[in-house]
A and B are shown apart, each in its own frame.
Chain A
């Protein structure tokens, strides 16, 4: 992914007699600098040193934020990249949380190599079920249908969790035993922080690989004009179901980490509030860029934390106004202050362009 330095030579000879308006724009590529890797690197460095600088209780808070950032990635893939309006992303996050909590409570399974894959699979399975139902019709489903469908799913799960005694009803499942690796127990603190940071980095890199692949180009087509790519022969509904399921799996992974980190799960975790929260993280930071989702989560959570400390009564109003301002004036999120449209959308053939131009 080196910097894009040169521009394709105009090798079409004398064919430019036809209205080639603004052919100078082709040269703009020459000054294109890659901002994204710099931002990603800076966030990573900040995340790596954070526990060294923060007090213990803040490291615990930071761990929670990193887990939520992982959750935000899942929504960003689904909405920011594939254009599927999932208003029920917490369904996968929370059901995985409940799933691992039950494993720990009823079967005494807390081994990290069992609970995290289990949580991921639960998220995946729920997303396949819901996605299959909402997205895999013979004809493409409307945005309204999908957003209301996911919202309803999340709401129904919330009500179900509240009413179901086995799941602890209103109180949820308290005091989940810690996640273990052999005899080592992961309790809140630096070790847990670096564990989730490591997981976030791995998942981030996988997502990055995916959205920059040719599959990512298909997703871009899906987001921009689903009908058009169906006429090319893409199985658009399948693509949507696949990315929705991947999103569900990541949300499930995040949910299981969250359950063990907090030590309890409660009905809100599957509900509409958390589903909306993740939408806000991504819109705030900048949907359609992976790092935007991470930054959005850090800032929204950070600001709420600070505001709730300092302006106890009115902080939700201040936060709401801030979010509104960003969404009104920066619909592409905070990342758009430093990131241009061209780099945000990306270029899927650029690497080969360099290879090709160097050879002749």
Chain B
């Protein structure tokens, strides 16, 4: 049984059909890349899965539950986590507090008011910051970070929610080559406990870390399969050549 199954997803904005019966299936501990030319509907599909957009048609199932009508909060509580395309760390808070905020998201109200989990979560916060190479900036405001570091912080925050499925929308946008390489390294270890759906323009990056790929074109799935299958696929080569 797949972890995530989105089927027949359509999304219409006024006269624009962004998605037209797109589908995506992700298994457990699978890294799944979502690629396609600009405007092919990658981000919209991502948003429909995360709950930021409500699909006009179609059904999203997550761990055997129909979550199509779930709010983002309910999806997060079911084990889904999203890193937005535009970084949205909380700029005035320290890095430490950004992570703590994500870690404590499902604490009960009383635990929050009486700060019962503050001590217990400290080690976890520092572990996450160390893992993402941000520990020495722990008590700086997030706004002071470079763009690449903000992306890492945001991935760390998305992971802090302990998701079963992590959705990353362009995690390496605006990063240097070196930063991209490090991002790949940072993502590898999460495979043990989490699946990943990743939207990315950097095809080398995608090829290096993903197990399977789905290619979208004009809101439809053009092809879906393992990385080598997709690389050998004629029509995929064509759309990329056509645009290039």
Interface residues of A (CB under 8 A from B): 7-12, 15-16, 18-23, 25-26, 28-29, 138-139, 210, 213-215, 217-218, 220-221, 224-225, 227-236, 242, 341-342, 345, 347-353, 355-356
* Cβ contacts under 8 Å, A227 to chain B: 72, 88
Whether B81 sits at the interface, judged by CB under 8 Å, is: yes
30 residue pairs of the A-B complex, CB under 8 angstroms, read: A8-B135, A8-B136, A9-B136, A10-B135, A10-B136, A12-B135, A18-B179, A19-B179, A21-B149, A25-B137, A26-B138, A29-B139, A213-B114, A214-B107, A214-B112, A214-B115, A214-B116, A215-B112, A218-B101, A228-B84, A231-B82, A232-B161, A233-B76, A341-B141, A345-B92, A347-B94, A349-B122, A352-B119, A353-B96, A356-B126
Contact with A along B106-132 (1 / 0, CB 8 A): 110101111111110011011000100
Given A15-B133, A19-B178, A348:B97 Cβ within 8 A: yes
Please, how many angstroms separate the alpha-carbon atoms of A16 and B132 in the complex? Answer: 11
CB distance A26 to B73 under 8 Å?
A: no
Which of A217, A220, A350 is within 8 Å of B139, CB to CB?
Answer: A350
* Cβ contacts under 8 Å, B149 to chain A: 19, 21
Q: Can you list the 7 inter-chain pairs with the closest CB atoms, starting with the nearest?
A: A233-B76, A10-B136, A232-B105, A215-B112, A233-B105, A224-B90, A352-B122
Please, how many angstroms separate the alpha-carbon atoms of A215 and B115 in the complex? Answer: 7
Given A8-B138, A19-B176, A348-B97, A220:B117 Cβ within 8 A: no
CB distance B146 to A19 under 8 Å?
A: yes
Interface residues of B (CB under 8 A from A): 50-52, 71-73, 76-77, 81-82, 84, 88, 90-94, 96-97, 100-102, 104-107, 109, 111-119, 122-123, 125-126, 130, 133, 135-141, 144, 146, 148-149, 157, 161, 176, 178-179, 182
* Cβ contacts under 8 Å, B81 to chain A: 231-232
* Cβ contacts under 8 Å, B71 to chain A: 138-139, 230
CB distance A7 to B139 under 8 Å?
A: yes
* Cβ contacts under 8 Å, B135 to chain A: 8, 10-12
New A-B contacts (19) at CB < 8 Å, excluding given A18-B179, A228-B84, A352-B119: A8-B138, A12-B135, A19-B149, A22-B144, A23-B137, A25-B140, A213-B115, A217-B100, A217-B101, A220-B93, A224-B91, A229-B101, A229-B105, A231-B73, A232-B157, A342-B141, A347-B97, A348-B96, A348-B100
